[in-house]
Amino acid sequence: MPAGGSCQNAGVSESTHHSRAALDNPATSRVSQPGREEAVVRAGEHPVTHEEPADWGWHAETGKKGRIAAWVAVLIMLSYLIGNHEGRVEDLWVVGTAAVMVLILVWDIFRRKNAWRSR
């Protein structure tokens, strides 16, 4: 397989490949999109200009279960302090990382408390 190409269009020039793709299915056409790749679009349709996270299934926050899991992650992080290591540099990183996680979770509590819709 040539570098940067695919098996399907190996040995085919770019212009030949573009004309073949447009001719393979008469119900499609090629559309130039600024800042994006060229698109193959069905006749009568428009290319996607912007995709919302909700289009892919992301609608909101993780909810109560996600917050509980975050607190469990903090506890697991602090459990790393138990061990047979002698240096304290590791402890500083573990405690610092856990402290940042706690700060984010506490900020989230106040943010939700003052939010229009809190869950």
- Tens of pLDDT, residues 50-69: 667 677 776 666 788 889 99
Burial class (CB in 10 A: 0-12, 13-18, 19+), 95: middle
Report the domain count for the chain.
2
Q: Does any domain span residue 89? A: yes
The better pLDDT of the pair 86, 59 is held by: 86
Instruction: Round the average pLDDT of the chain to a whole number and report it.
Output: 75
pLDDT of residue 32: 66
Q: Does any domain span residue 19? A: yes
**Going by C-beta distance under 8 Å and a sequence separation of 6 or more, which residues neighbour residue 101?**
70, 73, 74, 77
pLDDT of residue 35: 66
Q: Does any domain span residue 1? A: no
Q: Which of 9-13, 97-101, 103-107, 115-119 has the lowest mean pLDDT?
A: 9-13
Q: Does any domain span residue 70? A: yes
Same domain as 49, residue 73: no
Same domain as 86, residue 48: no
Instruction: Output the pTM of the full model.
Output: 0.49
pLDDT of residue 11: 53
- 37-62: average pLDDT: 70
Determine what percent of the chain is predicted with pLDDT higher than 90. 29
Q: Does any domain span residue 4? A: no
| Residue 36, pLDDT above cutoff 70 | no
Same domain as 67, residue 31: no
Q: Does any domain span residue 102? A: yes
Q: Does any domain span residue 2? A: no
Domain that holds residue 24: 14-53
Q: Does any domain span residue 27? A: yes
Beta-strand runs (E) in the chain? 28-31, 39-42
Residue 1 confidence class, pLDDT cut points 50, 70, 90: very low
- 5-31: average pLDDT: 57
